[in-house]
Amino acid sequence: MFKTLNEAKDWIENIKRFGSKLDLTRMKKCVEYLGHPEKEFKSIHVAGTNGKGSTSTFLKNILIEAGFNVGIYTSPYVVKFNERIGLNNDYISDDDLVYYANQLYPLTEKMLKEDETVTFFEVLTLMAFLYFRDKEVDYAVVEVGLGGLLDATNVIIPEISVITNISYDHMKQLGNTLESIALNKLGIVKEGVPLVTAIEDINLFPLFAEITAEKNSRLKIINFDLVSDISVGEKTSFKYQNDYYSLKLTGYHQVRNSILAIEVIRLLRIINHQSIKEEHIKRGLEKSFWPGRFEIFNGNIVLDGAHNIGGITALIKSAKTVFSGKYIKCLFSVMSDKEHKKMIEELDNFCDELYFTEFEYARREDAQNLFMESSHYHKSFHKDYKQIFKQLINLKEQEVLIVTGSLYFISEIRKLLTEKEF
């Protein structure tokens, strides 16, 4: 059995990442063996291509402000492994993580005897369910890992389902069209459970209406025409309907995510007769922080985990506003299974200088390959991300460095910044 955090982490991280068959068979067996911990707490289920983590954080903090005991399950982590599972404003403790790893190890061995390999994400999801049950959370905000329909989290029956937006990502698993991607994410919609979404592509509205009608599910699509007075700087503010809101998180996309959270909470207030006040919503939004999402260091270094075309587009839109007139340098690394060529095309047209690198992760793309995909007039590639980052942070007054392409990558860069390893 595991005695230390490192032993538990090593076991979890070495578990097979993806199962031989993409379905919910293993998860259904596992939660049944465990006595269905996912049924012991109320939940909000959050899917979407981008913005899941920010929206989940907004929801968590609003519920905390309203006095609830709140769990949150997100992925991947940026600062610390434990941040995938949280309780109110704390991550799961090292001792608890070891404890639940020991609880789940016998189950994974039992499944192996049945020729079923429980995956990395399934183990983490089961750990979250057990933790939330034992901590007697009032609500758990549960973020989908991939897609929706066959995601390990999709064994829950939530109070409300949430879809942030639809863009191109994980096409190998979800399909090559927005419709196929949307259909997979709509797989989280349960019979009679309302859905709130911030999708903006009107061509997808009929599909959302069709699926929710089939499930007798109430559908709420956010109306962005009700948003005004948007101000994006190192903080973000806006007016929605008749109220003004302020965010620590920077970016136009965070306006969308926060309005989605507002409407989810308002609906929750109605269906569960909860006494959540507007002041709770405002304070929860204003206190929300999510590392690696347009996170600014020293006023001129930005870490953003944009890892698909939708994320890169949102990053560029915000950067053009926040750093208007500045000279932009970009440092880019990405996973090999992402649509990096399209992402690079956007960066080619935005950055004044573009640098490619790679980090120690099995699925990362080779820096030279990324370099070859770029048509930028001022570009270079460097195998050692620490060395090139150290060079790039010596910025002049009008220069800004944006580090992006992968949450895993910016996690490594963030360590350099916060731990002063340069």
Alpha-carbon span 155 to 355, nearest angstrom: 42
Nearest residue to 94 via CA among 14, 4, 2:
4
Range 5-287 has CATH code 3.30.70.1140:
no
| pLDDT, position 173 | 55
Q: What is the DSSP code string of 115-162? A: T----HHHHHHHHHHHHHHHTT-SEEEEE-SSSSTT-GGGG---SEEE
User: pLDDT of 319-352, one tens digit each?
Assistant: 999 999 999 999 999 998 888 999 999 999 999 9
Domains of the chain, residue spans: 5-287, 295-418
- Counting every residue written for the chain, the total comes to 422
| pLDDT, position 171 | 47
Nearest residue to 416 via CA among 380, 392, 382:
392
| pLDDT, position 290 | 82
| pLDDT, position 177 | 84
Do the bridges between strand 327-332 and strand 227-232 make them parallel or antiparallel, or are there none, so unpaired? unpaired
| pLDDT, position 194 | 98
User: pLDDT of 174-224, one tens digit each?
Assistant: 556 888 889 999 999 999 999 999 998 899 999 999 999 999 999 999 998
Average pLDDT of the chain, as a whole number: 91
CATH class given for the domain over 295-418: alpha beta
pTM over 0.85: yes
| pLDDT, position 235 | 85
Q: What is the DSSP code string of 175-209? A: -SSHHHHHHHHGGG--TT--EEE----GGGHHHHH
Residues of the chain predicted below pLDDT 50: 170-171
Q: What is the DSSP code string of 293-322? A: SSEEETTTEEEE---SHHHHHHHHHHHHHH
